[in-house]
Structure 1
Amino acid sequence: MAFTLATWNINSVRLREPIVCKLLEEEGPDILCLQECKSPVEKIPTEAFAALGYTHMVARGQKGYNGVAILSKLPIEDVGDKDFADLGHARHVAGRLDNGVVIHNFYVPAGGDVPDREKNEKFGQKLDYLSDMRDWFHAEKPEKSILVGDLNIAPREDDVWDHKKLLKIVSHTPVEVESFNSVMEAGGWADVTRNDIPEGLLYSWWSYRARDWDAADKGRRLDHVWATGDIANAGHSSRVLRDARGWEKPSDHAPVFASFDL
């Protein structure tokens, strides 16, 4: 089975239904994983997506916050979710394709503005969430799996516009990067995007605060596609659809794509 997958923090699936449809029409990935849907599952606009061929969905939602959904042209079975760090948030869902591949869709907490868990509860929640992910993957070694989502960490120096300036900024601090790497190691995950694009600056998020995000280009790579070691070599054709950041009423994230031949 060959398929193309995309991951996108949409920042409200109902508000941005038009650009989700635009992506589905113009790019046609077989699977689209969305984060920060900000919608109860029953209010996700599934009719518009089904009309474009995306007749399958597994999702977890809540009103106004968080939320994750996997839209698929391919049959996909809901195989559950985990409430990491016991936050009571809709931040994870998993689905299994007919070929046995499990897709995990994650929205890791952003962590607030201050990288100190004593001063900022949200930063502590983020680190606890990552610790729980690490422990779960260590105990339940994933196989034949793909993990995607807004992980809210830019791990490499070339995943941010200025490594030195961002070392004390949430999403690129050493403690977050260490936690990120421990999750990868625990699950035997490989970074599909960077396997395909090993060198150079690469971003998937640009702040709304920038007057001209494109010219300023102060981005971070917060959105990721991983695969377990047993199928990582099947991943290819990774790319970031940067243009989507400039669409009408855009998300501050751009979709990240990868294809798999399995």
Structure 2
Amino acid sequence: MKLSVTTWNINSVRLRSDQVRQFLENERPDILCLQETKCPDDKFPFKELKSFGYPFITNVGQKGYNGVAILSKYPFSSTQVMSMCERMDARHIAITLAPEAKQAAGITIHNFYVPAGGDIPDAVLNPKFAHKLQFLAEMRAWGERNRKLGAPGILVGDLNIAPLEHDVWSHKKLLDVVSHTPLETETLETLRQEAGWVDGMRHLRPEPEKIYSWWSYRSPDWAAADKGRRLDHIWLTEDLAPVLKSMHVTKETRGWERPSDHAPVTAILEL
């Protein structure tokens, strides 16, 4: 069977529910993981999203910021929410697919929204950057514990770091810019490797190919300038890497009316 998983920072699920519908009608992934839903739990549009053909939905949210959700065609046997940095700030949610998912049963999908980190790459001067580094440290410790479980898994999300040279439009110009500083990129790559995660996109499409999933709102002609960054990721446990068949970025969503500044990233596995 094929299993398709998409990650997308939607930047307000209620504001862009029509775009979610349009994307799902076009792409029809089996599972859609959203970040930055910006919606408290009691306002989350369960009914509307289920009407798009995704009867199984779980979320954790807050008013006005953060928030993560997973929409699935398949039932899941369990869900999990981790609080990070001693904050209940809705930055992680996970599901484990139920037996009804057939060959995909038992796969756990973790959906993360890593803090952006502010504008100054200095943990002393910038508390937001310090929070980001603490979050990554906790992800690293969690990843080491998770690897010992030996279970098949997929980690997705807006990780707010473009780790490799060709994940940004200009490596040299962005070395001092939060999301591509050496401290962040080395930290992310270290935690990924230690936990045994395979970077799906670069597994199939290695450097020097330029790949982006985010384009700033500050650029009035974002498509022509194409000054993007690859901030949105799909990682797999080593046992799933051989069955990863394709990955792509749905760049056209960035050109829709009132879009998110992130585009969906989709992985297709042949189980």
TM-score category (smaller protein): over 0.9
What displacement does 1:140 show? 2.9
Aligned to 1:52: 52
What displacement does 1:230 show? 1.3
Aligned to 2:142: 136
Aligned to 1:68: 68
Q: Does the Cα contact within 8 Å between 1:21 and 1:48 map onto a contact in 2? A: no
Cα distance in structure 1, aligned partners of 2:111 and 2:145? 19
- Tell me the TM-score normalised to structure 2 length: 0.94
Q: Any unmatched runs of 5+ in structure 1? A: none
1:252 aligns to what SS in structure 2?
Answer: coil
Cα distance in structure 2, aligned partners of 1:34 and 1:194? 22
Aligned to 1:197: 205
2:211 partner letter: L
Q: Does the Cα contact within 8 Å between 1:57 and 1:76 map onto a contact in 2? A: no
Aligned to 2:175: 167
Cα deviation code 1:25-69 (max 9, x no counterpart): 111111100000000123222222211210101211111110000
Cα distance in structure 1, aligned partners of 2:218 and 2:177? 15
Q: Does the Cα contact within 8 Å between 1:159 and 1:220 map onto a contact in 2? A: yes
Q: Does the Cα contact within 8 Å between 1:95 and 1:104 map onto a contact in 2? A: yes
Cα deviation code 1:153-199 (max 9, x no counterpart): 00000000000000000000000011101220221000011112113
- Tell me the TM-score normalised to structure 1 length: 0.97
1:238 has 2:244 as partner: no
1:94 aligns to what SS in structure 2?
Answer: strand
Equivalent of 2:195 in 165, 170, 187: 187
Cα distance in structure 2, aligned partners of 1:117 and 1:256? 30
Cα distance in structure 2, aligned partners of 1:140 and 1:228? 10
What displacement does 1:114 show? 0.2
1:120 partner letter: N
The aligned length equals 262
Cα deviation code 1:121-171 (max 9, x no counterpart): 000000000000101111232520000000000000000000000000000
1:244 partner letter: T
Cα distance in structure 2, aligned partners of 1:41 and 1:221? 29
Aligned to 2:114: 108
Cα deviation code 1:93-144 (max 9, x no counterpart): 0001121000000000000000000000000000000000101111232520
Aligned to 2:154: 146
Displacement over 4 Å in runs of 4+: none
Cα deviation code 1:208-242 (max 9, x no counterpart): 00011001110000000000111111112100000
Cα distance in structure 1, aligned partners of 2:146 and 2:156? 18
Aligned to 2:102: none
Q: Does the Cα contact within 8 Å between 1:102 and 1:144 map onto a contact in 2? A: yes
Q: Does the Cα contact within 8 Å between 2:116 and 2:160 map onto a contact in 1? A: yes
> In terms of mean alpha carbon deviation, does 139-148 or 65-74 score higher?
139-148
Aligned to 2:221: 212
Aligned to 2:258: 249
2:140 aligns to what SS in structure 1?
Answer: helix
Q: Does the Cα contact within 8 Å between 1:244 and 1:250 map onto a contact in 2? A: yes
Cα distance in structure 2, aligned partners of 1:72 and 1:43? 19
Q: Does the Cα contact within 8 Å between 2:78 and 2:97 map onto a contact in 1? A: no
1:53 partner letter: G
Aligned to 1:125: 131
1:88 aligns to what SS in structure 2?
Answer: coil
Cα distance in structure 2, aligned partners of 1:248 and 1:48? 20
1:236 partner letter: K
